[in-house]
């Protein structure tokens, strides 16, 4: 069933965002309210200060609630990322007896359950499972097996796991404000859904969300998620490099980065100069802008190289005709596209923002929040209860309704 209003939370390393949206026949979703607050209490997907995280979450959710009719906010759809998150491919199989009978909803649940029967270390748990493809009697590429005749049903599922304590801390920070989790959604998946078209997901595409503390990577192919990674590095490292090397406050480094920064030093003219206020100095000192950009380039090149390694690790580099899509606040540095093009040879690269929204300094940092809302509203073919476990852990959704529009 389609929910009426969904409320999502993106717990970023630099900010916490709450967004409420509803389904819209024209645009897919209509954003009803969005609120962000700077927050340093969730670093790279893990809560580092429970009280502060709870306060930030409570504050953004309250502000969103004020913009909506009373009691519009239900349980929250929450994005999760970080290096404790892992994705693995699960395989499920179920014989259909008597052979050739019609496949039922129950068969689909059972085969997905089978694919989720993966033994995990005691400190980890499953947080999401996405059916990628069904096979009926070996025939690949089936998206909806219900009603088909067959003797054997198979499924390939993308199973997302995370560290139990990290997940419990997120749930705890949310519950301290009296809210509950509706479901946890992989952040790289959400960023992808926030900026990609269904056609790109069909063709094959990489989405790279360069945030403050994380660089989230998701590869989509044949209309579903094929690979994901959450690298513990982001644009805040660029800021700290600048503040360390130029001996400035973090605020001055951030200003220099966002005002004069660029990911490729060679595109900056040699004669350009910027004023840098160093700590303990009475007046700003001039610095060649190119030197500033060399510092930035070195860190951004490291990020791009790590992304290339992940794309190679996925083994999907030859299946990405829709190229590389950059988003996230960190992708707003000029020439980032060019740097990624140089690093990820043979891939076309472009930077995108989700649907334009007013009231925030930039919307590239909103890709995850918009994607969470689209996931909750447009991936409504919920297969539940698939796991037999209570609560949000029960829910299994595919991207099929999103990519097919049905
Ligand atoms: N105009 C800009 N130019 C360059 N960098 C920018 C710009 N705007 C924002 N940033 C950088 O983007 C980063 C924040 O991006 P974003 O909002 O996507 O991160 P986040 O979602 O809070 O963190 P994460 O996803 O890593 O947990 C900051 O490091 C900030 O300096
Ligand atoms: Mg983010």
Condensed to tens digits (0 to 9), the pLDDT of residues 181-231 reads 998 999 999 999 999 988 999 999 999 999 999 999 999 999 899 999 999
Q: What is the CATH number of domain 86-159?
A: 3.30.1490.110
Residues with CB under 6 A from ligand 1: 12-15, 211-214, 234-236, 239, 254, 257-258, 261, 328-330, 332-333, 362, 365
Residue 368 Cα: closest atom of ligand 1: 21
Ligand 1 mean position to 37 CA, how many Å?
13
Which ligand has an atom closest to residue 215 CA? Answer: 1
Mean pLDDT score, 27-39 = 88
Mean pLDDT value across residues 18-40: 87
Q: What is the mean pLDDT of residues 239-245?
A: 98
Indicate whether 359 pLDDT > 50: no
Measure 193 CA to ligand 2 centroid, in angstroms.
13
Percent of the chain having pLDDT more than 90?
75
Confidence (pTM): 0.93
pLDDT-based confidence at 395, cuts 50/70/90? low
* pLDDT of 4: 86
Report the pLDDT value the prediction gives residue 36, as an integer from 0 to 100. 93
Nearest CA to ligand 1 atom 12: 329
Q: Which ligand is nearest to the CA of 254?
A: 1
CA 373 to chain centre: 12
| Ligand 2 centroid – CA 59 distance (Å) | 18
45: CA distance to ligand 1 center in Å?
A: 14
Q: Report pLDDT for 213.
A: 95
For a substitution probing ligand 1, which of 14, 48, 351 has the most ligand atoms within 8 Å of its CB?
14
User: What pLDDT shows up at residue 389?
Assistant: 52
216, 306 in Cβ contact below 8 A?
no
Ligand 1: nearest atom to the Cα of 235 = 29
DSSP β-bridge partners for residue 94: 153
Calculate how far, in angstroms, residue 13's C-alpha sits from the geometric centre of ligand 1: 9
On the question of pLDDT at 324 being above 60, the answer is: yes
CA dist., res. 306 & res. 402, Å (int): 30
Tell whether the model's pLDDT for residue 42 goes beyond 60: yes
Res. 384 pLDDT band, cuts 50 70 90: low
Q: Which ligand is nearest to the CA of 331?
A: 1
Best residue among 330, 334, 337, 368 to mutate for probing ligand 1, ranked by most atoms within 8 Å of CB: 330
Identify each DSSP E strand in 122-278 by its residue range: 124-136, 139-142, 152-163, 181-186, 205-210, 215-221, 224-231, 273-276
Tell me the HSE value of 64 on the side-chain side, using a 13 A CA sphere. 28
Q: What is the mean pLDDT of the chain?
A: 90
Distance, CA of 146 to CA of 316 (rounded, Å): 29
Which ligand has the shortest distance to the CA of 38?
1
Distance of CA 261 to the CA centre of its chain: 25
Ligand nearest to the CA of 13: 1
Task: With a cut of 70, say whether residue 62 has pLDDT above it.
Answer: yes
| Residue 398 confidence (pLDDT) | 72
> Residue 331 — very low, low, confident or very high, per pLDDT cuts 50/70/90?
very high
- What is the pLDDT, as a whole number, of residue 214? 96
CB of 36 within 8 A of CB of 17?
yes
Domain ranges of the chain: 86-159
The pLDDT of residue 358 is: 46
- Mean pLDDT confidence for 55-82: 94
Q: Which of 108, 83, 66 is nearest to 166 (CA)?
A: 83
Q: Assign 390 a pLDDT band (cuts: 50, 70, 90).
A: low
Least confident of 163-172, 188-197, 376-385: 376-385
- The phi and psi torsions of 352 (rounded to 5 degrees) equal -135, 160
The pLDDT, as a whole number, for residue 385 is: 54
CA of 4 to the centre of ligand 1 (A): 31
Of 328, 384, 372, 370, nearest in space to 351 by CA: 328
Q: From atom 15 of ligand 1, which residue's Cα is the shortest distance away?
A: 329
For the chain, the C-alpha Rg in angstroms (whole number) is 22
Query: What average pLDDT does this structure show over 347-353?
Result: 91
pLDDT in tens, 262-309: 999 999 999 999 999 999 999 999 999 999 999 999 999 999 999 999
How many percent of the chain have pLDDT more than 70? 91
Does 136 score more than 80 pLDDT?
A: yes
Q: Can you give the pLDDT at residue 44?
A: 87
Top mutation candidate among 211, 241, 250, 363 for ligand 1, by most atoms within 8 Å of CB: 211
In ligand 1, the atom with minimum distance to the C-alpha of 43 is: 27
């Amino acid at each position: 069933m389609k929910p009426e209003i969904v409320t999502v939370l993106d717990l970023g390393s630099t900010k916490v965002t709450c967004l409420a949206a509803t389904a819209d026949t024209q645009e897919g979703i209509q954003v009803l309210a969005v609120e962000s607050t700077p927050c340093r209490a969730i670093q790279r997907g893990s809560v580092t200060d429970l009280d502060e995280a709870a306060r930030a979450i409570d504050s953004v959710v309250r502000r969103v609630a004020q913009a909506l009719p009373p009691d519009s906010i239900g349980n929250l759809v929450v994005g999760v990322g970080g290096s404790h998150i892992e994705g693995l491919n699960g395989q499920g199989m179920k014989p259909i007896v008597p052979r050739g009978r019609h496949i039922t909803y129950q068969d689909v649940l059972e085969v997905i359950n089978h694919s989720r029967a993966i033994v995990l270390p005691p400190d980890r748990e499953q947080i999401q499972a996405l059916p990628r493809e069904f096979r009926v009697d070996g025939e690949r590429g089936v998206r909806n097996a219900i009603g088909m005749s067959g003797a054997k049903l198979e499924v390939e599922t993308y199973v997302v796991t995370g560290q139990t304590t990290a997940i419990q801390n997120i749930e705890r920070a949310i519950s301290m404000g009296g809210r509950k989790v509706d479901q946890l959604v992989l952040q790289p998946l959400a960023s992808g859904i926030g900026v990609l078209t269904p056609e790109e997901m069909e063709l094959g595409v990489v989405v790279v969300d360069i945030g403050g503390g994380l660089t989230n990577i998701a590869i989509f192919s044949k209309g579903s998620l094929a690979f994901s990674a959450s690298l513990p590095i982001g644009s805040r490292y660029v800021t700290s490099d600048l503040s360390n090397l130029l001996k400035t406050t973090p605020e001055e480094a951030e200003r220099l980065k966002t005002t004069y920064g660029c990911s490729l030093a060679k595109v900056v003219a040699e004669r350009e100069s910027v004023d840098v206020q160093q700590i303990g100095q009475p007046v700003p000192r001039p610095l060649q802008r190119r030197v500033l950009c060399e510092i930035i380039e070195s860190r951004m090149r490291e990020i791009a190289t790590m992304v290339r390694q992940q794309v190679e690790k996925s083994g999907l580099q030859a299946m990405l005709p829709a190229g590389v899509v950059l988003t996230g606040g960190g992708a707003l540095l000029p020439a980032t596209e060019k740097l990624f093009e140089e690093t990820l040879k043979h891939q076309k690269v472009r930077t995108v923002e989700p649907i334009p929204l007013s009231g925030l300094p930039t919307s590239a940092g909103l890709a995850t929040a918009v994607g969470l809302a689209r996931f909750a509203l447009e991936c409504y073919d919920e297969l539940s209860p698939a796991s037999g476990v209570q609560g949000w852990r029960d829910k299994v959704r595919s991207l099929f309704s999103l990519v097919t529009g049905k």
